Amino acid sequence: MKSLRGLVGACMAAALLAAGTAAAQDWPARPIRLIVPFAPGGGTDILARLIAPKLAGALGQQIVVDNKPGAASIIGTQMAAKAAPDGYTVMMVDSSFIINPGLRKDLPYDSLKDLAPVAHLATGPVILVAHPSLQADTVGELIKQAKAQPDKLFYGSGGNGASTHLAGELFNLAAGTKIAHVPYKGTGEAFAAVLANQVPITFAGISSARPALDAGKLKALALTGSQRNPAVPDVPTFDEAGLAGVDSSTHWQMLAPAGTPQAVIARLNAEVNKVLQDPEIRERVAGLGYVPAGGSPQDLAALDEKEIAKWRQVIQAAGISIQ
């Protein structure tokens, strides 16, 4: 009886695999929806609209960018997680996807089970910037000053639980400092506060920080990531500055509903990797201060597991909670 059941199960699995392969061979037969869980104009939306036309050309079908903002990307992500796993809905997310599991216990989806990794699109190094009046020009000097004056230095962020907030707490943990957090209503307000010298430091993306750096209105102390960024070649990495373990880079990735045929995911992954090798795309991505990524879905799955665990640990250590 057991052997018969096993045979039946194997036959059913083979039939499902064959059906999925056949469906994938006909895919795509209509436009594909690319959900962006943020409002138009942000980094994720810009990257989606940059890549979509090239990907559409490779697939022979239109890619429709569909902005579904709200609740720190949760609304749009839930829509993608609940969509039919037929290859006609994918989504693009930033690091909120790997931060939210540690911040929120009531997520309406399981980040690692309900969504399937497709492709790692790009990374965005985060730069530690300071008002010129700050009496510290290096990471080492900032740490020395922070330890000499505990709780008298402040950093601004885009709000409680924002990526810039967690970047500051990761710095505190790595450096053994207690630089106090000042939340603002968005990264733009935090950046403006540093320009006005209301708080001395913040973490920011390269594209938003570079104009102020070029104008001498801010100074850069260090950059996350494993290597210097061509957009700001004179800014050292945190590792070069002598402080290891501060990698709060943003990761942009494409996901699909769990259960999407593997052949579809493999095709999407291959085509996205080709797009990321396009010289025009690489130039425009670099112009945003991002670094094209690429790799397999398995590589991305491993990255997500590692990053979710890392940020959960930072959130717990810093005692961050979102009501």
8 A C-beta contact, residue 241 and residue 138: yes
Average pLDDT rounded to a whole number, residues 298-303: 98
Residue 13 lies in a domain: no
Residue 22 lies in a domain: no
8 A C-beta contact, residue 178 and residue 154: no
Are residues 44 and 119 both part of a single domain? Answer: yes
8 A C-beta contact, residue 128 and residue 221: yes
Cα-based torsion angle of the residue sequence 17, 23, 25, 27 in order, rounded to the nearest 10 degrees: -140
Taking alpha carbons only, the member of 311, 267, 298 closest to residue 116 is: 298
Last residue of a domain, one of 208, 223, 238: 223
Residue 62 has pLDDT above 70, yes or no: yes
Are residues 141 and 217 both part of a single domain? Answer: yes
Taking alpha carbons only, the member of 129, 132, 128 closest to residue 217 is: 132
Residue 8 has pLDDT above 70, yes or no: no
Between strands 201-205 and 180-183, the pairing is unpaired
Are residues 218 and 158 both part of a single domain? Answer: yes
Residue 11 lies in a domain: no
Residues 6+ apart with CB under 8 A from 41: none
Are residues 89 and 164 both part of a single domain? Answer: no
Residue 82 lies in a domain: yes
Are residues 141 and 208 both part of a single domain? Answer: yes
Are residues 58 and 205 both part of a single domain? Answer: no
Residue 2 has pLDDT above 60, yes or no: no
Residue 229 lies in a domain: no
pLDDT of residue 208: 87
Residue 323 has pLDDT above 90, yes or no: no
Q: Which helix (H) or strand (E) holds 13?
A: helix 2-25
**CA distances, 186 to each of 15, 35, 92, 107, 292 (Å):** 51, 22, 21, 22, 26
> What's the CATH code of the domain at 214?
3.40.190.10
Condensed to tens digits (0 to 9), the pLDDT of residues 123-182 reads: 999 999 999 999 999 999 999 999 998 878 999 999 999 999 999 999 999 999 999 999
Are residues 98 and 181 both part of a single domain? Answer: no
Q: Give the Cα separation of 161 and 98 in Å (integer).
A: 12
Residue 27 lies in a domain: no
Can the peptide bond before residue 28 be classed as cis, meaning omega within 30 degrees of 0?
yes
> What's the CATH code of the domain at 305?
3.40.190.150
Q: Give the Cα separation of 133 and 201 in Å (integer).
A: 10
Indicate the number of domains in the chain.
Answer: 2
Are residues 256 and 114 both part of a single domain? Answer: yes
Average pLDDT rounded to a whole number, residues 54-81: 96
Are residues 82 and 37 both part of a single domain? Answer: yes
Residue 232 lies in a domain: no
pLDDT tier at 38, thresholds 50, 70, 90: very high
Last residue of a domain, one of 207, 223, 239: 223
Average pLDDT rounded to a whole number, residues 107-124: 96
Are residues 86 and 130 both part of a single domain? Answer: no
Residue 241 lies in a domain: no
Are residues 139 and 185 both part of a single domain? Answer: yes
Structural domain including 74 reads: 33-123+250-318
Residue 17 has pLDDT above 60, yes or no: no
Q: Give the Cα separation of 34 and 47 in Å (integer).
A: 12
8 A C-beta contact, residue 275 and residue 54: yes
8 A C-beta contact, residue 199 and residue 158: no
Are residues 131 and 218 both part of a single domain? Answer: yes
Q: Give the Cα separation of 265 and 196 in Å (integer).
A: 47
